Structure 1
Amino acid sequence: MVDLNFDEARLDEMPVFYFINYINLIHDNFLKDNFNDIAPRDFTYLSNIYYHEDLSQRELADLLFVSESNVAQIIKRLEKNGYVKRDVVKDNSGKKILSLTDKGESAFNSLLNLIVEFESKLFKDYSAEDKDKFREMIHDYCERAAEY
């Protein structure tokens, strides 16, 4: 286990992004240890496709603050591995809607279950109210950050 060695006296000076970055690094490492053919960033793609129905590649790029070519490259690999499919919109042949295949949905649910289990260990000493408040605050923080 890594000792992050946070200086308690300086915690008030440290930006929240510093902690979010560490959580993200730990999360990425967790995914690497548990899944071979799904990269950590793939979970972000799979989860957004899962939670946003009728999502186009352009909309996914906007959601993730990346270029369409970046999305196309990752979706192509996820499609090749059988996790994602692209369906052409009938009235607009240039627009493709993303969805998870059965394999993609199964992988997403497996990942989600592992993450929920992982998070439950992190939150084990907190009350349900504290967990709910944290979730509300981090959601609000996310919304505000997205405005910039």
Structure 2
Amino acid sequence: MEGENTQHLAKNSPFIAWIHNISLNQQKYMKARIEELDFDHNVRYIMFIYDNPNCSQDDLVNMFGQSKGNIAKILKKYEDEGYIKRKTNPENRRKYMLNTTDKGSKIVPKIRQISKEWDEQVGLTDEDFEIKKRLMEIAIKGMKLVEEK
């Protein structure tokens, strides 16, 4: 974008549009870099499962705002490819607990490195931690608002 166009956009765009823009551009960057690893941007689900052992499909739906059907399709693909495994939840036999396999766990450091490169390229630093923390708080409040409706 040219400087003049960017200034016009900055003045006239809602803040949430910039958040969405960051997310989309990070996904595009990740997808381009992950192609070398035979993945797409949906690898974020493997990352979430890795970081949240025994999470459920509903946890993914709530976190990423995707439909249950879309999440189920992606999880099936990753299960068939050996990156994740499902285990029946003993507290609710109709639900599954999700975990990464050894194969899935091995891909995580590579993905984290690509994500770190993204952060460096766009100028995110450790000093931006407070901004990240505040955005997470806002996201959690937003999820709770949606759940209440």
**TM-score class normalised by the smaller sequence:** 0.7 to 0.9
Asked if the contact 1:85–1:99 (Cα under 8 Å) also holds between the matched residues in 2, the reply is yes
TM-score, with normalisation over the residues of structure 2? 0.78
Q: 1:132 is aligned with what amino acid?
A: F
Q: What is the Cα-based RMSD across aligned positions, in Å?
A: 2.4
Aligned ranges 1:1-148 → 2 under 5 Å: 3=1, 6-9=5-8, 11-36=10-35, 37-40=38-41, 42-90=42-90, 92-123=92-123, 128-129=126-127, 131-146=128-143, 147-148=145-146
More helix by share: 2
- Unmatched 5+ stretches in structure 2: none
Which is bigger in relative contact order (C-alpha 8 A, separation at least 6)? Answer: 2
Q: 2:30 is aligned with what amino acid?
A: L
Asked if the contact 2:26–2:118 (Cα under 8 Å) also holds between the matched residues in 1, the reply is no
1:49-103: CA deviation from partner (whole Å, max 9, x where unpaired): 1222211223332333333332221101011122111112346543221111111
1:80-130: CA deviation from partner (whole Å, max 9, x where unpaired): 122111112346543221111111112122111111122023226x6x44x
Q: 1:69 is aligned with what amino acid?
A: G
Distance change in 2, residues 1:140/1:59 (3 Å): closer
Q: 2:16 is aligned with what amino acid?
A: F
Q: 2:40 is aligned with what amino acid?
A: A
Asked if the contact 2:58–2:68 (Cα under 8 Å) also holds between the matched residues in 1, the reply is yes
1:17-49: CA deviation from partner (whole Å, max 9, x where unpaired): 221222122212212211233221x22311221
- Residue 138 of structure 1 and its aligned partner are, at CA, apart by 2.0
- Unmatched 5+ stretches in structure 1: none
TM-score, with normalisation over the residues of structure 1? 0.78
Q: Secondary structure at the match of 2:107?
A: helix
Greater CA drift, 42-51 or 64-73: 64-73
Distance in 2 (CA, whole Å) between partners of 1:91 and 1:143 is 25
- Residue 11 of structure 1 and its aligned partner are, at CA, apart by 2.0
Q: Secondary structure at the match of 2:66?
A: coil
Number of equivalences? 142
